[in-house]
Amino acid sequence: MTTICVDVMGSDCEPSVLLEGVAKALELDSELKVLVAGDASVVEPFARDHERAEALATTEVIAMDEHPASAVRKKKDASIVRAASAVRACQADGLFSAGSTGAVLTAATFGIGRIKGIRRPALTLAAPGISGKKTVLLDCGANADVQPDAIVQFAHMGRAYAQVVLGVEEPRVALLCNGSEDTKGSELALSHHKALAEGNCGFVGNAEGTDLLAGTFDVIVADGFTGNVALKTIEGTAKFIVSRVKAAAGESKRAGLGALMLKPALKTVAGELSGDEMGGAVLLGLRAPVVKGHGSTSAEAVASGTLACARAARGQLCERIAKACEKAE
């Protein structure tokens, strides 16, 4: 059995949404156990009603608008803090939370701990591609400023993720830049390019923004500032396209009929772009798998994130990252 601790508090959604997702995950995976962290009135009835669920009752919650480091330090009984401690104590093999990104990052980094030699954990997402091939993007926002040695570690971590989760044998790594030429980019980007080229990490060159959803590369690395801007741009563009299609469908009967015929295909595309399929971003570089769901998550995304966390634990993702980074030193 693989046990995943799920923090059901702290997101923009009601805990019932997350519990619905946990129930779906339990239905889909008979080898999954869940440790549900949250208020006793929420988690204990759920644990009683589900055979492979156990309650981790807590009394505090870290809200989205609280300062992450300060809140984690002061609220020792917060659900995310207790969840991370449970993983460290080997009560669970991984962690899923849709709470504050900063709180999850801080609690997981200090509660679970980093893999030996890893400078900084990185938020990692498998983005959908035009050809159906996913591209691993990291860092998606955990570290705004990244030194050259850390970007090389991101590349090794991204390769391990692509191998374990996506089944890519020899992942090709690229650096997100403003041009494909080796000479393009800021001074920092050029230093990143040089370090990656010398890092024995499967680096093949620069990637442009148009490569993010093209499936051109298996792994694209960036500092957290650039990666987060790229990710939010993709999300915003997707919302714009969906809203415009809906608006256009109501302009005439012909447009409405066309939209009706395209609805199944559009629903599939919307599902890929919503993140429900992967469940969230994985925080790589820690001693156990941690999946960070979107604050305004859905039951489907929670189920997917919980199952993705379990797959990462079973595939020994963290151990493979540790070995990859050890060889690179």
Question: Among the listed ranges 25-29, 209-213, 233-237, 323-327, which one has the minimum average pLDDT value?
Answer: 323-327
Domain residue ranges of the chain, discontinuous segments joined by +: 1-115+287-299, 119-284
- Is the CATH code 3.40.640.10 the one for domain 119-284? no
| DSSP assignment letter at 128 | -
Instruction: Note the pTM of the prediction, 2 decimals.
Output: 0.86
In the structure, what pLDDT confidence band is assigned to residue 175 with cuts at 50, 70 and 90?
Answer: very high
Q: What is the average per-residue pLDDT within 202-220?
A: 93
Beta-sheet strands, E only, within the chain: 2-7, 32-39, 53-58, 94-97, 122-127, 135-138, 173-176, 203-207, 219-221, 281-284, 290-292
Order of strands across the sheet with 135-138?
Answer: 53-58, 32-39, 2-7, 94-97, 290-292, 281-284, 122-127, 135-138, 219-221, 173-176, 203-207
122-147 confidence digits (pLDDT tens): 999 888 888 778 899 999 988 889 99
Q: By C-alpha distance, which of 45, 106, 42 is closest to 71?
A: 106
Orientation of helix 101-111 relative to helix 79-88, angle to 10°: 30
Tokens of 7: 């923090």
- Is there a shared CATH topology between the 1-115+287-299 domain and the 119-284 domain? yes
As given in the structure block, the two tokens for residue 221 are 């690395």
The burial class, CB within 10 Å (0-12 / 13-18 / 19+), for 107 is buried
Is the pLDDT at 320 greater than 70? The verdict is: yes
Task: Tell me the average pLDDT of the chain.
Answer: 89
Q: What is the mean pLDDT of residues 229-246?
A: 81
d(CA 158, CA 218): 9
Q: What is the pLDDT of residues 142-152, one digit of tens each?
A: 888 999 999 99
Q: At a CB cut-off of 8 Å and minimum separation 6, what does 155 contact?
A: 173, 196, 199, 201, 202, 203, 219, 221
CA distance readout (Å), 8 to 11, 15, 165, 202, 235: 8, 5, 24, 38, 24
> What integer is the mean pLDDT of 275-288?
82
For tokens 């591209």, what's the residue? 135
For residue 177, is pLDDT > 80? yes
Q: Tens of pLDDT along 43-82?
A: 999 999 999 999 999 999 998 888 988 999 999 999 999 9
**pLDDT tier for residue 236 given thresholds of 50, 70 and 90:** confident
Distance (Å, whole) CA 107 – CA 96: 12
**In Å, what is the CA distance from 287 to each residue of 1, 290, 318?**
19, 9, 6
Is the omega angle on the peptide bond into residue 211 within 30 degrees of 0, that is, cis? no
Residues 6+ apart with CB under 8 A from 319: none
Candidates 3.40.50.720, 3.40.50.11540, 3.40.718.10, 3.30.930.10; CATH matching 1-115+287-299: 3.40.718.10
Q: How far apart are CA 79 and CA 42, in angstroms?
A: 12
One-letter identity of residue 98: A
Spatial separation of the C-alpha atoms in residues 286 and 291, rounded to whole Å: 11
